[in-house]
Structure 1
Amino acid sequence: MIRSYIKIAWRNLKTNRLFSIVNIVGLSIGLASTLVLFLFILQERSFDNMYANKDHIYRVLLNTTEDDLETWANVPSALAPELKATIPTIVESGRFFHHGFGESASIKTDNDVFIEDKLFWSDASILDIFNVEILKGTGSENLNNPNTILLSKSTAKRYFGDENPLGKTLTIDNTTSFEVKGIFKDFSDNSSLNFNAIAPFMMQNFAKNPSWNNASFETFVMFDSATPVIRDVELKIQDILNKNVEKEALWYTFSLQPLERIHLYSSNYSDSYITNYGDINQIRNLTALALLILLIACINYMNLITARSQKRATDVGINKTLGASVKDIIIRFYIETGLITAIAMVLGGLFAVITLPIFNELAGKHLAISSLFTIKILGFLVLIWLVTTLFSGSYPALYLSRFSPKEVIKPTSNKGGIASVIRKGLVVVQFSASVVLIIGVIVIHQQLEFIQNISLGYNPENIIAISTSGIRNEGSGRALVNAYEQLPNVSAVTRSQGYPGLGVSGRSIYKRSTEQSMGIQTNRAEQNIADVLQLNLVSGQLLPKIKQQGDTLVEVLVNKTTVDFLGLSPEEAIGEKVAMQLGNNAYICGVVDDFNFASLHSPIGAYAFHNAQREPKSYLLVRFENEILTETISRFENTFKTLAPNTAFKYTFLDKNLELLYEKEQRTANVGLLFSILAILVACLGLFGLAAYMSEQRNKEIGIRKVFGASVAGIVQLLSLDFIKLVLVALVISFPLALYLMKSWLRDFAYRIEISWTVFLTAGILALGIAMLTVSFQAIKAAIANPIKSLKTE
């Protein structure tokens, strides 16, 4: 019996090829989209699952209690040893920080010089907490000894080729030599931690003299139980804090974050050395989008099958006359649905293989095609096949199996009813979702374009930032500046700790005669910093060009937000002494207009350039005139290597670096655009199905109208009007929903567009245009049909 049903289903597919193709294509697109998005979601949720102690590991977070409340992923260096010594349930605690607090390192071997972006200084306990696998040599015990270093397998290969790296010597930043003592396995792509080289934290002054003031260190703890009472532990940590920090200086508290939540729930945290964060909201949105596309595809199948209900009714009536039961009819329709879904599944898998590289490019991911053939994914496919078959086939099977032989011989005149309302309602839902997606894509792209074109208060174009982390000698740094100033097409050169778009040192500035404070970003720089960035000097003067050795006076060039906080005018601020953790002799020498030194997600805060000899000047900033870029870079590199032959040449452009601040939004927009197009395409197939259904239901009416002289254009207009009504209803529903959703998304930006009425007009025109194009095929086909055929008596 089952074989007979399969044969009948296959014959129906071949007989009704157009409907079969539309059904299969719609379902395959829905299944492929769901499969790719599920693969991405699975990978995002798999982060840090490889660690044996994952359920015992927590990260310590710092929560500010003054000004704007923030959560930092870095804490003071004094905390980790105190935690292990004071709280018995903590069996390990460890700290690490990125070299230079986020800077690249210059690594010199015997034969070459490398730029290393992932050198970390770490406690030995971090290797034990994350059970880092040592492939050669020894591991954590070496991090308790000075001048030793561990390398990942790929990094050792990059530095030394096929030579044995153990015992080799590396020189970091042309200052200190380290012996390679161990090789560890590369961290997985879905690990939050990703070190290329690990040097001993104990060599740093932060370990020798741990402080409660400098919150610059990522800290992890491991418990002896997988289910500690977190609130009790946090109260104990607060007790530690109260004992070690005076109440007046207590501007923060601590909390604990489980390892499993770090990847997806940390995108809003500041000051983290972990950069490979995901976003739980993106996962939720993509999950909803995947389900939406699959749901639309299933609805389409229902509409397309029931659109042929008159033809299938005859088949059902004959079968029932010959003795088939309702159960037999239901099984038959489910088998037909299962066959179509199975074909769509195979085709959808092929689509997924084809589109996965495109998705990787848009999303910036590295999902392997081979991952589509894992047991988990194959099991997911079987589950999706069953769910899709049961859901898609339920309405056709139950609806069509109700036809009686009497209805076939003498069909009722009621062609509308609840079934018609449901089908039209489903199409309205489909197009409402499509219009929301269209509006979302337009608003996201408008916001990104607004960000790219907004005046930042400085000019990031034609500025190159060259890493000078390997140049610690002040004389060599000055010689480098002088050499670049002599190059053609160079208009300004300076050295600085960082630049806009790159994190620098976070400090606090205190208002005079009060305890009120404000966070401020401080950047050690030289006089020409304002010329390079083209900042507008409001009052006072720039930093002095020369600062004598031993000079304890600290000049500070602040932005207008800083003096506004101090309650001074730009003119009154000149010469004012400021308390901002730069010593007792820090004075404001000048004030510049506000500029966006960070992402436009945040409003402009306090910022200061200074010449205190506290942080290294790790970058050479060069403003150049437009010319052939390759020649410019070559000239800059040759000059650099002449004066710093033992330092690798690494550079970035400030405008390109700014684009990275909004990379997540750009990728979200690209992925959203791709799957929105697919969702709209699948929705159009649903509209096509309803058009076929309605023209089939009204074929006699169309025939009569043609006999009485109706034109093709008039009939097309008649049929299209019904669909225009459906789309208009969809617009009424979707506009307020889209407005609410996009306003919620825009709240993440301090600087944002106002959603214009033209967005809704554009979306409405697109929706109507898409609907008309979709419907026109069926409408014209029905209008030009021979009326004699439609008026024949069955």
Structure 2
Amino acid sequence: MFNNYIKIAWRNIKANRLFSLINIIGLSIGLAIVILLFLFISHEQSFDTMFSKKDRIHRVLVETDGDFGYETWATAPPVVASSLQKEVTNVEKAARMLKHDFGGTASLRVNNQNFTEDRFYWVDKELLSIFDISILKGDKENALDRPNTVIISETTANMYFGNDDPVGQVLLVDDSLKLEVTGVYQDFPENSTLDADVMASSNGYWFYENRSWSNSSFETYCLLKNNVSFESTLIQMNHMLDANVSQEDQWYSLSLQPLSKVHLYSASFGNTYTSRVGDINEVRNLGYLAVLILLIACMNYMNLTTARSQKRSKEVGISKTLGATSQSLIGRFYMETGLITAISMVLGFFLAIMVLPAFNALTDQEINIDLLLTGEFLAVLLMIWAITTFLSGIYPALYLSRFLPKQILSPSLKQDKGNLVVRKGLVVLQFAASASLIVGVLIIYQQTQFIQNKNLGFAPENVMAISVRGLRGMENRSAMLQELKSLTDVTSVAMAQGYPSIDVSGRSLRKNESEEHGLNIQTNVTDSEIIDVLNLKLLAGQGLPAHKSEGDTLVEVVLNKKAVDYLGFTPDEAIGKEVYIGVPNIIVGVVDDFNYESLRQPIGAYAFHNNTSEGKSYMLVRFKTGNISNTLSGLKAAFNKVAPNLDFDYTFLDQNLEKFYAREKRAGQLSIVFCILAIFVAALGLFGLAAYTAEQRRKEIGIRKVLGASVATVAQMLSKDFAKLVFIALLFGFPLAYWLMETWLEGFAYRIHIQWWVFVVSAIIALGIALLTVSFQSIRAALINPVKSLRTE
């Protein structure tokens, strides 16, 4: 019987090539998308599963109070790790990670060659056992015990030392600190949150014995003991905090984040160092999109199969007359569905393999094709095939198998209203989904363009940030400043701790020293030319003084308007006033607000100051537009002249800002691609239905043409019913799209407002696609010779 079902199914597929082809193409595209998106989701969910103690590893989080905006930070104070090991009985081990220069890059000199390393971390030795990091060369037990030692990844070792043995070699960091290589460790895989290429021992480094409960800059991981309660550990941690920090000084609380949630549930956290941060919302949205496209493809199958029910009715009636049961017919129809979905699955599988490189480029991932060939994934494919077969075949199988022999010649079958309502309902659902996708793509595109074109309050174009962390001594820094200023393409240069789009120092702004609560403010130590370099708008006063006498302890500050508003002054009134930002400051200038963070965040308080207690890590250079290549060569030559032992490490401010919106840009690109594919699949089904409708009304069309009907009249007659369905779909799809996109836009502090014309344009696009699809078949049917249409079947 099974073989017989396969033969019948194959004959039906061959006998109805057009409809079978439409079904197979639609399902193949849908399944290919599902396979690709499932690969992406599986890759995102696989993060950190390679660590044997993953279920016991947690990251310490800091949850700030109102002074710091009730934010959650992925970094903790330096004393937290050692206190956890000593005072929290549930904790077995704890370790800190500090990215070099609080998130900056390191300049390394190896064998007379300069390198820039942006994944350089200072770590506690306990980290190696918490994450069971595999040491390939060197002392596995004591690799980071001694001060001034470092271990490097296998890839980094090959880049720095080639075929030479790295163990015992020396790295010169920032032209000042020599580190001995004591080991080479296996590269962290792409699905690991830890991304370090160089890990230096914290032993002997400045924060090693630091007992501060402030300066929350250290990513801290702890390993819980076996069979201890997560909740009881949190209680012990809060007791630890209370025992060491007075209530009035507690501007934060501590919590734990399981390692399994670090990758996907940290997108909104501040102060994270890893370059591999996912977003659970993106994963969910792509999952919903995959299901939606697959459902559209399944609806196509149901629609086309039930539309051809009249032709299948005789087959069902004869089979039942000869003794076939409804169950056996259901099995037969499901076999046909299963065969079509199996063919589609194979085609979709190979289609997914073909487009995987393009998909990786689109999603900025490195998903390996080998994942498609694992037993686990093949089992998932089998499950997807079963679900697709069930969804696609459930209604056609139940509908077709219920025909009775006596109904075969009954005209009521031709006018089965229930079947017609279901088919129309499926068309409405398909185009409601398509219309929603069109609206979503237009709004995502608008928001992305709004972000890219918004006036940020400063001019990031033609500004370069050059790292000078390793440049020691004011004499060398002054020499570098003069060399850069002497270039003809350079208009202004400022030394600064940081620049918009990167973290600087977070403090509290207070009106006076006795004020209990203040306002979170970002502070950036810099010099007098910062206003010119960033092209900030000066509202009152002047910039920082160009010269500061030796021994002068007065701290001048330039505040933005947000900070001045908090203080209760107008910009002019603020000049000369004293404020407290850690230490007393005198306001010498006020600049207009500018967006120094992502546009997802509202503008906060910001201060430029000249407190000599902090260092300046960058030279910010504004240059003239023109030949960027020549300008870059000149800047590099000037840099190398002063600092031959440092690597020329630079970034353009406008390019750095784009990283903020990489996720939105990626979401927009994915939405456009998958929206086009979803609409194509829906249009494919509509094409099949139009072809079948034209075939059913073939004689009617012939009679109308004989009586004088034009091609346009016939095309209009066949198209108007589908146009009505699309209009109904828009009524359902647009409210859903509005709600979904309003929810998405709420994540931005600066956003567009959804305009009415978006829905008009979407309606025109959806209706145009539908009419274009249907009209092709309608015109084709109208052009057929009436003599052929009126021939006896």
Give the TM-score range, shorter chain: over 0.9
3-state DSSP of counterpart to 2:203: helix
Return 644-653 or 411-420, whichever deviates more: 411-420
Deviations 1:276-327 (A, max 9, x none): 1111111111111111111111111111122222222233333334444333
3-state DSSP of counterpart to 1:215: coil
Q: Normalising by structure 2, report the TM-score.
A: 0.97
State the match for 2:182 in structure 1: 181
Give the conservation status (yes or no) of the 8 Å contact 1:264–1:277: yes
Question: Alpha-carbon deviation of 1:414?
Answer: 4.8
Distance 2:564 2:203 in 1: 39
Q: Read off the aligned partner of 2:716 and give its amino acid letter.
A: Q
Q: Read off the aligned partner of 2:46 and give its amino acid letter.
A: S
3-state DSSP of counterpart to 1:395: helix
Give the conservation status (yes or no) of the 8 Å contact 1:556–1:588: yes
Deviations 1:456-498 (A, max 9, x none): 1111111111111221222111111111111112111111111
Give the conservation status (yes or no) of the 8 Å contact 1:306–1:693: no
Q: Where does 1:371-450 land on structure 2 (aligned, <5 Å)? A: 371-412=371-412, 414-450=414-450
Residue ranges of structure 2 left out of the alignment (5+ in a row): none
Distance 1:784 1:50 in 2: 64
Q: Where does 1:419-498 land on structure 2 (aligned, <5 Å)? A: 419-498=419-498
State the match for 2:657 in structure 1: 658
Return 411-420 or 190-199, whichever deviates more: 411-420
Distance 2:46 2:291 in 1: 20
Give the conservation status (yes or no) of the 8 Å contact 2:435–2:763: yes
3-state DSSP of counterpart to 2:606: strand
State the match for 1:735 in structure 2: 734
1:169 aligns with 2:135: no
Q: Read off the aligned partner of 2:668 and give its amino acid letter.
A: A
1:327 aligns with 2:353: no
Q: Read off the aligned partner of 2:631 and give its amino acid letter.
A: T
Distance 2:303 2:479 in 1: 76
Distance 2:550 2:366 in 1: 51
Deviations 1:733-790 (A, max 9, x none): 1111111111111111111111111111110100000101111122223333455665
3-state DSSP of counterpart to 1:538: strand
Give the conservation status (yes or no) of the 8 Å contact 1:238–1:254: yes
Give the conservation status (yes or no) of the 8 Å contact 2:363–2:666: yes
State the match for 2:520 in structure 1: 519
3-state DSSP of counterpart to 1:276: coil
Q: Read off the aligned partner of 2:626 and give its amino acid letter.
A: E
Distance 1:534 1:33 in 2: 46
Return 552-561 or 43-52, whichever deviates more: 552-561
Distance 2:730 2:613 in 1: 60
State the match for 2:336 in structure 1: 336
3-state DSSP of counterpart to 1:141: coil
Question: Alpha-carbon deviation of 1:32?
Answer: 0.3
Distance 1:573 1:138 in 2: 60
Q: Read off the aligned partner of 2:629 and give its amino acid letter.
A: T
Distance 2:648 2:154 in 1: 24
Distance 1:652 1:664 in 2: 20
State the match for 1:352 in structure 2: 352
Q: Where does 1:701-720 land on structure 2 (aligned, <5 Å)? A: 701-720=700-719
Q: Where does 1:571-582 land on structure 2 (aligned, <5 Å)? A: 571-581=572-582
3-state DSSP of counterpart to 1:76: coil
Change (3 A) 1:268 1:391: same
Q: Read off the aligned partner of 2:231 and give its amino acid letter.
A: R
Give the conservation status (yes or no) of the 8 Å contact 2:59–2:220: yes
Distance 2:628 2:65 in 1: 47
Distance 1:542 1:174 in 2: 32
Number of equivalences: 791
Question: Alpha-carbon deviation of 1:350?
Answer: 1.3
Give the conservation status (yes or no) of the 8 Å contact 2:307–2:423: no
Deviations 1:529-558 (A, max 9, x none): 111001111122211222344332222111
State the match for 1:501 in structure 2: 501
State the match for 1:760 in structure 2: 759
Distance 2:204 2:704 in 1: 92
Distance 2:579 2:201 in 1: 36
Give the conservation status (yes or no) of the 8 Å contact 1:125–1:140: no
1:301 aligns with 2:301: yes
Q: Read off the aligned partner of 2:36 and give its amino acid letter.
A: V
State the match for 1:622 in structure 2: 621
State the match for 1:213 in structure 2: 214
3-state DSSP of counterpart to 2:383: helix
Question: Alpha-carbon deviation of 1:793?
Answer: 6.6
State the match for 2:91 in structure 1: 90
RMSD: 1.7
Give the conservation status (yes or no) of the 8 Å contact 2:407–2:413: no
Question: Alpha-carbon deviation of 1:567?
Answer: 1.4
Q: Read off the aligned partner of 1:742 and give its amino acid letter.
A: M
Q: Where does 1:569-648 land on structure 2 (aligned, <5 Å)? A: 569-581=570-582, 583-584=583-584, 586-648=585-647
Question: Alpha-carbon deviation of 1:410?
Answer: 4.0
Give the conservation status (yes or no) of the 8 Å contact 1:601–1:751: yes
Q: Normalising by structure 1, report the TM-score.
A: 0.97
Q: Which runs of 4+ in 1 moved over 6 A?
A: none
Question: Alpha-carbon deviation of 1:390?
Answer: 2.3
State the match for 2:64 in structure 1: 64
Q: Read off the aligned partner of 2:402 and give its amino acid letter.
A: R
Question: Alpha-carbon deviation of 1:255?
Answer: 1.1
Question: Alpha-carbon deviation of 1:266?
Answer: 0.8
Give the conservation status (yes or no) of the 8 Å contact 1:299–1:426: yes
State the match for 2:240 in structure 1: 240
Give the conservation status (yes or no) of the 8 Å contact 1:75–1:219: yes
Q: Read off the aligned partner of 2:363 and give its amino acid letter.
A: A
Deviations 1:687-723 (A, max 9, x none): 2233234334444544443444332211211221111
Question: Alpha-carbon deviation of 1:413?
Answer: 5.9
Q: Read off the aligned partner of 1:279 and give its amino acid letter.
A: D
